[in-house]
Amino acid sequence: MLDPDRISAVIRDTAMREIVPRFRALASGDIREKKPGDLVTVADEAAERVLIRELAAAEPGSVALGEESVAANPALLDLIAGDAPVWVIDPVDGTGNFAKGAPDFAVIVAYIRHGVTEAGWIYDPLGDVMLSGSRGDGVWCGGRRIRIAADARPGQATGSAYGRTPGGIRAAQALTESGRVGSVRNRGCSGLEYIDVALGRTQFTLHSRSLPWDHAAGMMLVTEAGGRVRFLDDSPYDPRITDRRPLAAADERIWRLVQAVVTAPPTGG
């Protein structure tokens, strides 16, 4: 049987050995572009190698893939729809921040069976905050079970939003200018943005694409904490789908509010 605490320890230990010592200590040769604007560092690569090895060993019969291994071999994504349990890893979520010495980065791990996220972990190494949970068994942080408060007011909701509206306006700008939410701040790290929603620090997070290493764990954890998650087109979230916009929110009212603002057709002549 999967041991969540053992997986948490593997993630934390890997971050402390392979990621944190390299923070603000990268040489120019330690950073490269996989494609224009898409960075990878030696910390990403080293942490992913360790996590793939340790996680696959923790669950006999499972397989593992990470963002960097898929960049080298896109066919690995097909494993998510296969019969074997699969670990999906983002070794450094927020690599752009990490590469420039900004503190907004996280480690994300999802455990998926038959296309369903069964367990997930998001770890903030600098804050030493670990969210972990499994489907039907809730979300845990620091030894306590967490639930999203049910008293969020849509007009005061804060969160993050990426992508554009049908009229071409940035989603963050559309939400801010609507006057229907409190504020929008994009951290450039989906892992930390999911932590924020699950812990009640913010009330929504909308993203422009649905790569599983960025979203599978977070969407499941927000659901287990009592939030609402779906693709922006109202279809159920599915980690096998990579080209839709995932939206997570504290409750249904806020989910619908964000959806309405960012999907509204352009007005005027």
Q: Which residues contact 167 (CB under 8 A, 6 or more apart)?
A: 264, 265, 266, 267
Let me know if residue 268 belongs to a domain. Answer: no
pTM above threshold 0.85: yes
Indicate if 55 and 128 belong to the same structural domain. Answer: yes
pLDDT of 104-150, one tens digit each? 999 999 999 999 999 999 999 999 999 999 999 999 999 999 999 87
* Structural domain boundaries, residue 94: 4-145
Flag whether 269 is in a domain: no
Regarding whether 119 and 13 lie in a shared domain, the answer is yes
Q: Are residues 75 and 194 in the same domain?
A: no
CATH label of the domain that carries residue 247? 3.40.190.80
Q: Which of 127, 145, 163 is a domain's end point?
A: 145
Of 145, 180, 210, the residue at which a domain comes to its end is: 145
Residue found by looking up tokens 């994009």 in the block? 186
pLDDT tens profile 197-236: 999 999 999 999 999 999 999 999 999 999 999 999 999 9
Last residue of a domain, one of 114, 145, 176: 145
Per the structure, the count of domains in the chain is 2
CB-CB contact of 180 with 155 (8 Å)? yes
- 35 with 81, same domain: the answer is yes
Whether 221 is in a domain gets the answer: yes
- Both 133 and 161 in one domain: the answer is no
